[in-house]
Structure 1
């Protein structure tokens, strides 16, 4: 494997690079917004379309499932053929799927639309990471990922607030449709800019450039079997225990995929995933950290929004606004840490995870102990500290994870990390949300019941966050000692 900076795409002016980057991060923000803003839309969707627990879980986690299935094959196609073309295909599909969701007449059609959105997001997101790898090298890449992390952090945290405002503007019956309508004009505008500004020329892998269709199929089956039982977990009495048999399929297809890929490479072919990537400690450990981190964070935001909205009776706008401090502080520290990742390396990530853990511990304490009228303010204080930490996790970890990956494999390498994040999201949401609803079912949906359910669900999420902390600390002490960052 070679250093990634050695293969950066030449010939782009500074202005052209940053214009293309702006298009990429704007579309990435739209993609991530659709993960977080839907949280405040769940109660009105349930009331408007008569959605049951399974359909509502599919609307949240089914998006992540479809997202995860397409990431690696789309990243591989982008590396082999054209990242720009794949980006345009994904963005066009995302815009169409958003229109579908906005017009959905019933819960079943909305679920289908959300799955289509996830497929489209899985096509376009690997191209974003691959293009950033392609456009920037060295310290400039760290700054670019710093801005990228800031935008992603803002999108994750501001999504519930934006969702609450749109629902309030559209009314309780159909306000949730504005969550999807907003993507349509923005998607069309971004599509026009992408056609004009994204680079059409890129370095491509040497040697065999055939597409490993068998490997793609086996990988898809592996990811599907792993994620599906968690997507179908609601914590309600209707959960079928037989769903866990899908994990047997995960083990079988995962073994077949590994065997096939190793044999495929021995024949001189180019596999879907080059397992030599995992020999890079920076890539392997960064992927583990991101997987655990993204298992905890979306679940934490979802439970907090549900608790403030349903348990405490505040409006969707208030439920969303508690995360504004997280958005602001994470944006600042993402920008700051992106400029210092070469200096501090993985220490930044470890400190960041610790800050997130402390911040969200305060959020939980505030939620269950502070007097009712002060709860949103107290939660916002915890979110402030959590955001300071979060900005030191996402962008530095992304920079470090991809620092030694060749640019010609930037799309597929970024896709592997994104698969980990989407699998983590599905598992984390399932664990935390099912804990929340199971406790609520046992205690009753009164104020005390909601407090117990929220505390239990958040304890599960914070436990997962501790796993990310363990990986980050091990990374500093053992695995990346004296390793170059770029």
Structure 2
């Protein structure tokens, strides 16, 4: 079935035009979250000067957000399935806006850390609804285009955050120093809240679900037992209890799997739909998301520290250096979904991993060749190569992971996707203390600081390249080709209501699933 054949069969919908407004709103919220993750890194020197924050506090300003985000994402996604994705999105964006105001007016490092943790918790309610709303609002033949846009937004958010943070910090509005990096969220959040109420359509799981409180407790406990010792380990001298906690977290996750399996059999309302992992694309994609999150967690923080604290660059110079990377990510993300994936399948993602590795190796050479005298122009080539590689991964990966997920579990799936990526990011941030600060002496004289940061930066990039090599290998588990050609409606859409997809299209989607040897929805529903 081609796009031209399926579209005339769709009844005219007054809401069709509104869904693009809804997309713009949720994409803006996703952009705000992504910017807020990276915008803080560029303002670290300013925060340190203004508040007297220690390295431990600085690490918690970044890692505390990631921890709260990762711990709450699965729960946030499931709450959207139960109570409505629009409702949870609005609660999340409202809470995120309030938390941003608290960050902007923080009187000391402790208040800033607490506000960042609250901000991460609110983001955990907001962000899973973004992909869920997209999955529930757009038919399958349009999702490739939408996820291409999403990949471009990811690329823009990842690097425009440092640039925006640099501008806001350098301009020092009203003598507020770093505070505008958080306060800028207020007008965006308020606009998103008001427009979201008007344009986003409500959706929830068609089957009545209940929140799995035991599952929530086990997920949160397991993540904290793993990530807290990793984040604080170096600062505390790697105590024995930290190692015990990290090992014990694996037992907690094992208990979670057993409990969720029994709960699914008992009442069909588990926090985590383990049946989702029967879909090969989802299982392999989440593994890639986890390891890719580690890459992002290490790279962006280390890169910022290297430019500002190692090379002594201003926030504006450091932020503008990332512009080639941002442009490359956005361009490659759009092209990958629209032009490349339909022809080359997972080879596009694997090419992206190899390009990122090549860019890292170039960056290692440039950093070693020019040392502290390196200029932004000498960084352009490695940044562009890395950016193209990242763009070839981020957009197709999201589409691949969600393509086989039935609509009633889209919130849970979205929460899982974001959780594993944020868990990877938190792991990466924790590893920064090992791979970066671990190679810098605690009492270096000022004249040795620059060379030490250059060396630590190179060491960290070798770690990142190694993780990307693992990602390249894991990608072999992804489907070799897209399951559905452009214009076709996949099996995941067979649960869509008749006012969205005609019965004939749903039947054809089911036939497609059988032809591809994929489980259809009944096999995925608890």
Bin of the TM-score, shorter chain as denominator length: over 0.9
Q: Map 1:331-480 to 2 at 5 A.
A: 331-340=330-339, 341-370=341-370, 372-441=372-441, 444=444, 445-472=448-475, 474-475=476-477, 479-480=478-479
1:429 CA drift (Å): 1.9
| Structure 2 counterpart of 1:28 | 30
Partner of 2:144: 142
TM-score (norm. length: structure 1):
0.92
What's the offset of the Cα at 1:421? 0.6
Tell me if structure 1 keeps the 8 A contact 2:231–2:433.
Answer: no
Task: Tell me if the contact between 2:345 and 2:482 (Cα under 8 Å) persists in the aligned partners.
Answer: no
1:152-231 mapped onto 2 (5 Å cutoff): 152-170=154-172, 174-200=176-202, 202=203, 204-206=205-207, 208-231=208-231
Once the two structures are superposed, what CA deviation does each residue of 1:349-403 show, in whole Å capped at 9, x if it has no partner? 1111111121122222222322645432222321111111111101100001000
SS at match of 2:211: coil
Q: Which aligned pairs between 1:243-262 and structure 2 lie closer than 5 A?
A: 243-262=242-261
**Cα distance in structure 1, aligned partners of 2:254 and 2:84:** 30
Q: By how many angstroms is 1:419 displaced?
A: 0.8
CA contact (8 A) 1:433 1:457 kept: no
Deviation at 1:330, TM superposition (A): 0.9
**Local SS of the residue matching 1:105:** coil
Q: CA deviation at 1:237?
A: 6.5
Kindly indicate whether the alpha-carbon contact (under 8 Å) linking 1:346 and 1:400 is maintained by their aligned counterparts in 2: no
CA–CA separation in structure 2 for the residues paired with 1:121 and 1:86:
11
Question: Which deviates the most, 385-394 or 429-438?
Answer: 429-438
Q: Which residue of 93, 97, 103 maps to 2:99?
A: 97
Which stretch of the first structure deviates more once superposed, 267-276 or 414-423?
267-276
Aligned CA distance change for structure 1 residues 41 and 482 (closer, same or farther; 3 Å): closer
Cα separation, partners in 2 of 1:62 and 1:386, compared to 1, 3 Å: same
Q: Which residue of structure 2 aligns with residue 53 of structure 1? A: 55
Q: 1:342 to 1:428 in 2, by over 3 A?
A: same
CA displacement at 1:172 relative to structure 2: 12
Deviates more, 1:443-452 or 1:462-471: 443-452
SS in 2 for 1:404: coil
Q: Distance in 2 between matches of 1:242 and 1:216?
A: 24
Q: Distance in 2 between matches of 1:349 and 1:172?
A: 45
Taking structure 1 as reference, are residues 335 and 135 closer, same or farther at Cα in structure 2, changes over 3 Å only?
same
Number of residue pairs aligned between Structure 1 and Structure 2: 473
CA distance in 1, matches of 2:61, 2:284: 31
Give the superposition deviation at 1:275: 0.7
Which ranges of structure 1 fall in alignment gaps of 5 or more residues? none
Partner of 2:302: 303
Offset, 1:436 = 1.3
Asked whether the 8 Å contact 1:308–1:376 carries over to 2, the reply is no
What is the CA–CA distance in structure 1 between the aligned matches of 2:60 and 2:257, rounded to whole Å? 29
Q: String of CA shifts for 1:72-100, please: whole Å, max 9, x gaps.
A: 11101111220000000000100000000
Greater Cα shift, 168-177 or 241-250: 168-177
Paired residue secondary structure (1:175):
coil
Contact 1:236 1:437 in 2 (8 A): no
Distance 1:400 1:226 in 2: 28
- The alpha carbon displacement at 1:21 in A equals 0.3
Classify the secondary structure of the residue corresponding to 2:271: coil
Pick from 117, 120, 124: which aligns with 1:122? Answer: 124
Equivalent position to 1:83, from 82, 85, 91: 85
* Alignment partners' CA distance in 2, 1:220 and 1:405: 24
SS at match of 2:179: helix
1:239-286 Cα offsets, whole Å, 9 max, x none, are 545323221341232122111111111213321111111111100111
Provide the TM-score with structure 2 as the length reference: 0.86
Cα distance in 2 for residues equivalent to 1:280 and 1:358: 32
